[in-house]
Structure 1
Amino acid sequence: MPKVKTRRATAKRFRITRTGKIVRRHANHNHLLEHKTSSRKRKLRKTSLVAESDAANVKLQLPYSN
């Protein structure tokens, strides 16, 4: 069997935790930050987990992540 290719864009955006969950960054933290409150920007810095409904699609694109 040939190797399966990894979607490089997906590999750059997501990480897999030791327990198999998928971690992502928050949106809206790249530009136009002047009018956003400090607390909102602080919360956007942190990572978040991908929803279970979307996790299956991400794992398909990362075949060697498990």
Structure 2
Amino acid sequence: MSLIKFFVLAQLKVEQFIKETEGASGIEYAIIAAMVAVIIIGFSSSIQNGISAIFTKIQAALPAASS
């Protein structure tokens, strides 16, 4: 195989690879899912603290309501 044939074949394979988009949507969904997971992990402590504060207020209000 000559060098020119090898170069043309490699160029065609690269162009074919660039045109393929079948796996692109799956990769995009994986990236979005990873970003959502990072956001949830980032806000989990503040969400947990907020929920804990709400239940603390409810717990403090319950004995006062029963007396």
Structure 1-normalised TM-score? Answer: 0.26
Structure with greater strand share of residues: 1
